[in-house]
Amino acid sequence: MEKAKKSYKRLRSAKELNRVVAEFYLECHEAKARGKPVGWMPPMNGVIEIFYAMDLQPVFPENWSPVCAAFGLAPRNFEVSAGMGFSRDLCGYLRNIVGYVYGPMNEEGTPLGGLPEPDLIISAYGGCVPAMKILHTLERRFPEAKVHTSELPQVGYEKIRPYHLDYCVSETHRLIEWLTETTGRKLDYDRLKEVVRLSDRACELWDEIMSYRRFIPTPISAAELGVMFVMVTRQGTQVAVDFLTGLRDEVKERAEKGIGMIEEEKLRLFWDNIPMWYNMGLFNYFEKMGGVVVAETYSAAWSMRLDPDKPIESLARKSLVSYPMVSCTSIKKRRDMVLKACRDFHIDGAVLHSNKSCVPITLGQMDMKRALEEELGIPSVVIDGDHMDANNFSVAQFQTRADAFMEMLLEKKGLTP
């Protein structure tokens, strides 16, 4: 098994991100110590804004899994969940967090202090099956926690109809009533509007930052992808807006001055599927032959807007569409999204991560490969891996395939390494 390896970061904002991450976990632990209700919830969902508006503390167990992978904690957590009977074919996010909470949770020396135990669990039907099952499984570990189950419909992006949204609106109201009854805290609608405004501003800034990746050379690459932490944990707060404003200014300045990620950007690459969180340094590997990963599937999850004058409707819609933006969608829709990104970001070649532990995003990659070649003339390479489990990934095989792929791309462009 390979050791966890971080990517090499070139943006000033990367340092600022370390502070934002540390402060988030500190805030979570302080909230618990002060008696502020702590709620565990799925990411990419409109629940976070309601929590911030009601002065409750959101915590994201699914997001803790990439943190564990980055700190090298995942293998031990996998052992625990395997011992409980969870198959190695299941999603690594699920296997890791289940192993963590039933195993070494918050033992001494855990990075960032680990996760505070939940007073509330918001268990949502929506997204993929593992995303739902994570919280269902964790409920049993914390029998004292109060559980709310949101019954969101499982519906693909292009099949969302007004009645799906109406139903999500009623579920959002039901959640607010439950939180009020359970915690004694009332929701101030003006405060919610302000939180939704901040959330919308974060999405707007996110889109603007991503749009600068169209520049040649790109001013930000996938090696800096950790910045999405603020979109997962801080949406609806001034912290996210301030961080993203600083990042936008930095990226804009680099784009306007023509400052790229490496001295000479020769190949612009697209990465399909989730990164390998235990080895983000792979994104730098392509640089030795002038390759930069300028776009990827995952960052599309926050490309949406919210209407602060219709906060409940906006959050209901967010809960419904954010998973389908990346994973729970038809193969055709995903293929169209990838082709559009490859066109928009002037991609020379696509790296398709065939992710053993995320079936929803891996499905349809062969159709995508064919479409990229036939419709855009863009070659692609398939890399076998796993976004969480390093045992399902071979660095040597990756390097062999990546080297051959880049040599072929350079030759196609009439360039030398």
Tell me which residues touch ligand SF4 (CB under 6 A).
91, 93, 128, 130-131, 274, 327, 358, 360-361
Query: Which residues, including other chains, have CB under 8 Å from residue 355's CB and lie 6 or more apart?
Result: 273, 274, 361, 362, 385, 386, 387
> Which residues share a beta bridge with 124?
150
Whole-angstrom distance, CA of residue 350 vs CA of residue 345: 12
* Residue 44 Rama label (left phi>0; alpha psi -120 to 50; beta): left
Report in angstroms how near the CB of residue 101 gets to ligand SF4 at its nearest. Answer: 16
Nearer to ligand SF4, 137 or 327 (CB): 327
CB of 90 to ligand SF4, least distance (A): 8
Q: For the chain, how many helices (H) and strands (E)?
A: 16, 8
Nearer to ligand SF4, 362 or 380 (CB): 362
C-alpha to C-alpha distance for 301 and 312, rounded to whole angstroms: 20
- Report, in Å, the least distance between residue 274 CB and ligand SF4: 6
Query: Residue 270 in contact with residue 341, Cβ under 8 Å?
Result: yes
Least Å from the CB of residue 42 to ligand SF4: 9
Name the residue nearer to ligand SF4 (CB basis): 13 or 123: 123
Taking the least distance from each CB to ligand SF4, the nearer of 121 and 247 is: 121
Residue closer to ligand SF4, measured from CB, 218 or 329: 329
128-164 b/e with 16+ CB inside 10 Å = b?
bebbbbbbebbeeebeebbbbbbebbebebeebeeeb
Residue 357, classed as helix, strand or coil, is coil
Decide if 55 contacts 35 (C-beta within 8 A). Answer: no
| Minimum distance from residue 369 beta carbon to ligand SF4 (Å) | 20
The least CB distance from residue 355 to ligand SF4, in Å, is: 8
Report the distance separating Cα 243 and Cα 247, nearest Å: 6
Q: Which is nearer to ligand SF4, 221 or 327 (CB)?
A: 327
Nearer to ligand SF4, 221 or 355 (CB): 355
Residue 132 CB, nearest distance to ligand SF4 (Å)? 9
What's the min distance (Å) between Cβ of 78 and ligand SF4? 14
Between 334 and 335, name the residue whose CB sits nearer to ligand SF4: 334
- The separation between the first and the last C-alpha atoms of the chain, rounded to the nearest angstrom, is 30
Residue type at 411 in one-letter notation: E
Q: Which residues pair with residue 90 across a beta bridge? A: none
